[in-house]
Amino acid sequence: MDILHLVDRLEELINHSRSIPFTHNVIVDEDRMLDIIDQMRVAIPEEVKKSQQVLATKNRVIAQAKEEADRTVNIAKEKSDKLTDRDIIVQDARKKANQIESEAEIKAKKTQAEADEYVAETLTNLEIALERVLNQVRNGIYILEEDNKIKFDLGKEESEEK
């Protein structure tokens, strides 16, 4: 299940909970809240697995780009070696090989930069989502603690009046 969906469900639970008059506190269905938190515990590792898959994809793309660059360089070198008999052709082939090698290196660096940017963006989004979940869980715990404190204080006052 999507972590953001679970965060929305937790927020909806809090928003639809009965409020305590004259306070900013609400009474939350503990079972529903704990159920959502348990689902979050299951979903967060899935988000981590997704980010690990992104990293693996990045590494695979970089490796493929390097292999392609190496193949291109090898092809250029082979062509260059075949043309060593002719001076002008050899010079042209070396220039072309250098150009192909430079282009391949630029392409590999660009691919690596794009992969790094994608991974950074994905991890940043995951961090933001996890921070939202953590803040909402903390807020839920705070509300429950305040609710329990109020209930305790009310019960204490009632027992003192008797």
| Position 1, amino acid | M
Per-residue pLDDT reduced to its tens digit, 14-32: 999 998 898 889 999 989 9
Q: pLDDT digits over 72-98, tens only?
A: 889 888 877 776 666 676 678 789 999
**Rounded Cα–Cα distance for residues 55 and 109 (Å):** 16
* Residue owning tokens 């409020």: 19
Maximum C-alpha span of the chain:
113
- Please write down the long-range contacts of 140-143, taking CB distance under 8 Å and 24 or more positions apart: 140/10, 140/14, 140/28, 140/33, 140/37, 143/14, 143/25, 143/26, 143/28
pLDDT tens, residue order, the chain (162 aa): 577 888 899 999 999 999 889 888 999 998 999 999 888 888 777 777 888 888 888 888 888 988 988 898 898 888 777 766 666 766 787 899 999 999 999 999 999 999 999 899 999 999 999 999 999 999 999 999 888 888 777 777 777 776
Nearest to 42 by CA among 138, 133, 111: 133
